[in-house]
Structure 1
Amino acid sequence: MVFENGSPIHTVWKSDLYRMQLEAPVPVPIICDQIIPYKPPCFGQDYHGRLSHVEESNLLHSQPNGAYLVRDSRSGNGQFYTLSLKFNDKIHHYKLFHDAKSGLYIREKRYDCAQSLVADGLITMYLELKAPVILQKLTTVNYQESPYMTLNKRKLKALSKENTVNLNVFGSTNSESSPLLQHSSMQNIPDKTEKMHTFKVTTFKGLNWCELCANFLWGFTLQGKKCEDCGVIAHIKCSENFANDCVPDLKYLRGVFGIELTTLLSAYKAELPFVVTKCITEVEARGLYTEGIYRLSGFADEIDAIKMALDKDGEKADLSVKRYPSINVITGALKLYLRILPVPLITFEVHPRLIDAILV
């Protein structure tokens, strides 16, 4: 239970879908007791080779819901097979595809074996049968009334409180009167951000609930999406309804190279990436009189070593002259950082306009 003054949400993490998942039928493989020649290696004893509809019906008719078998498809020509599954006292047939790299699949999900596929499918079919109203609401959730608004407001308030403490300790944010803050990563951030969530379809371990609708993320694989920057999780459909208020968290960032600039600055609460600051500090200290400072390339191995150090150690990475005597590897690392930004400094939207302005 989560409570917040003025929040329209009182019960967070509703367990209805979780309870229904536990009630869903379990897979019951129909074992083939005959030796099937040329059996595909992706199938086990639940593969029956060529079966007629009559034979398949006879095998499944007296079995409980969840019983299944895999057989050759007459129209598949080896490109796909047929999964015959008993559910809700009816026999259903599905085209079952196989990929040597990704395994068995019916739609977008991938499975190691037919039993895992059936187990996941039975849960979805059962929920669609027993909870169509709940599933339909996933596409119409009001973001302003979601539990996530309650949790996210708390996170934003905590960040604002932390920034207030920093300001009280270090003084004004005026960069002219406070040189310390000018070079510090502790900058004030607004209570509201305008960053989109970076959602990616994810397989979750353990019990997880959607942070928009508060319903259980059912299934065994690829149950929902997770934001790579702040860690918020949601149903695939619910992820489309989130506002642009991602608050990046350092524990979810994979280093600093290749990280979108807005995400990095929000996570570090800074106005400049520390990679740029550290590299330029070294250049100003020992490279201003070096010929071809940003033109000549340094050794690739040393540039990669700097990249790994900055990704691993962050602002504590050692870029001193004792560690890297050649200033060209420092400038090479800076150029690499800028080159692999997902969104370049001159954005894709602005670049054509800049070219047009140059040609005028």
Structure 2
Amino acid sequence: MEVVTPNGFAKTQESPLGPVWKPDLYKLQQEAPHPCLVACTKCIDRPGHYGDEFHGRLSHQLASELLTEDGCFLVRYSGPEHSPICTLSLRFRNKVKHYRLYYDGQHYVLEKRFDCVSDLVADGLVTMHIEAEAGSYIQLMCDVRAYERSPAYMTLSRFKRRTKPLLKDVDEENEVILYDKPHKFKVHNFKGLNWCEFCSNFLWGFTAQGVKCEDCSFSAHVKCSEKLPPDCCPELKSVRSVFGVDLTAFVRSRRTTRPFLVDKCVQEIEARGLHVEGIYRISGFADEMDSLRMALERDGENADISASVYDNINVVAGILKQYFRLLPIPLLTYEVHPFLIKAVQMHTLKEQIRATKEALSSLPPAHFNTLKFLMAHLAKVDEHQAVNKMSSFNLSTVFAPTLMPPCTSKISASIPDMSGEINAINLLILYNKSIFE
């Protein structure tokens, strides 16, 4: 459930299935202006670390005239003739801003370092756009969540329960495992898309987006990291690698086409769940799902999810849905989402399929390959609907909120209309062979 905060951002209520990553700042990063280099066409002497963006000595007024659109930038000399200053001139929100540039082998701004000016500008545009749109939200974001409701605390709590019989550091009276070790944080350049494990918000920018604990791999904004108790648990470093991880980053690190969890769960469900009434609709028991999730985090591809360990197939189906639900970026990404809604509004089936194929062509390869595999699986479930009572429409109703959560961050407190998303998933299931050929 979502409620709207005074600044217009949606605040996600906690779910019994675990944390929900907040996409608002990610969406703002996607909306930020892109850098556009205004090249100098004159033959001039340039410092070795600048290219066509360098215009030599240029007045404030002439620079402003050359920068016609948001994101346009150039580098020029300003200041006295005997001691010129390299200055970045940049248009943002129809205003031209000027910044002194620093270089020591790399361009740098405080702790952030860049190989070229274009990278510096791209990161700066994102930061300025997010601060302009959500400045008050950023000031408050790590204060509105108690640590006990953070993704990190939930992971640590599960880890404590799993390892309790193996650890001696236990308070016998309260039966709580004590971790009294401070985190060893260091500014980190995160690759791909990452979220803060304290406040659940996006780590924006392209370099030095936040800090990471060298011992337990806890990731956070700098400000959020200052609010953490000394509960670093180095053993957790090996289990922060399956749920809640960006899909592209996950398959790249594992060098696979799809997440192993999707393959394992689908294989198990097709072996013993196609004839189970209400498959994917009926939830498994929470404690068994928690046990399976930790087994997959701990043992990876070697985790035993067979009937001898988890005889209730709804537990396996539930953990597959939970995996997709906890992806920071949904399987059907925010960028593709509106195009799929438009596709199912076309007048003819042929037009719907054509528009859907066109929309899916923009998906990252990891998302596309996983979606193709999942839709083929759900089509098999649909083929047995006479027994399992799960038609393609019923499956779409179950999966739509997970695979296509609402696009906008300004959602009312009422339940959103998901009819468009349901129809889109239904089309993908029924005509998966035509769409993914």
- Given the alignment of the two structures, is residue 189 of structure 1 paired with residue 169 of structure 2, yes or no? yes
Residue aligned with 2:112, SS: coil
Choose which of 205, 229, 236 in structure 1 pairs with 2:215: 229
Q: Which residue of 1 aligns with 2:62?
A: 55
Question: Is the Cα contact below 8 Å between 1:95 and 1:106 reproduced in 2?
Answer: no
Question: Is the Cα contact below 8 Å between 2:37 and 2:118 reproduced in 1?
Answer: yes
| Alignment map for 1:1-360 (pairs within 5 Å) | 9-10=14-15, 11-37=19-45, 39-60=46-67, 63-75=68-80, 80-100=85-105, 103-140=106-143, 141-161=145-165, 163=166, 188-190=168-170, 191-249=177-235
TM-score, normalised on structure 2? 0.47
Change (3 A) 1:76 1:126: farther
CA displacement, residues 121-161 of structure 1 (integer Å, 9 cap, x when unaligned): 00000000111232111452532332322222112222214
Identity, in percent, stands at 46
Tell me how far apart the structure 2 counterparts of residues 57 and 230 of structure 1 sit (CA, whole Å). 48
Structure number with bigger Rg: 1
1:241 deviates by: 0.8
1:58 deviates by: 1.2
Q: Which residue of 2 aligns with 1:265?
A: none
Higher relative contact order (CA 8 A, sep 6+): 2
Change (3 A) 1:249 1:96: same
Question: Is the Cα contact below 8 Å between 2:102 and 2:108 reproduced in 1?
Answer: yes
1:79 deviates by: 7.5
Amino acid paired to 1:50: R
TM-score, normalised on structure 1? 0.57
CA displacement, residues 242-291 of structure 1 (integer Å, 9 cap, x when unaligned): 11100013868xxxxxxxxxxxxxxxxxxxxxxxxxxxxxxxxxxxxxxx
RMSD over equivalenced CA pairs, Å: 2.3
CA displacement, residues 63-105 of structure 1 (integer Å, 9 cap, x when unaligned): 22111101112159658411111001100111111102xx012
1:215 deviates by: 0.3
Unpaired runs of 5+ residues, structure 2, are 2-12, 171-176, 239-437
Give the total of aligned pairs: 218
Question: Is the Cα contact below 8 Å between 2:195 and 2:219 reproduced in 1?
Answer: yes
Change (3 A) 1:136 1:251: closer
Q: Which has the higher helix share?
A: 2
Tell me how far apart the structure 2 counterparts of residues 106 and 94 of structure 1 sit (CA, whole Å). 10
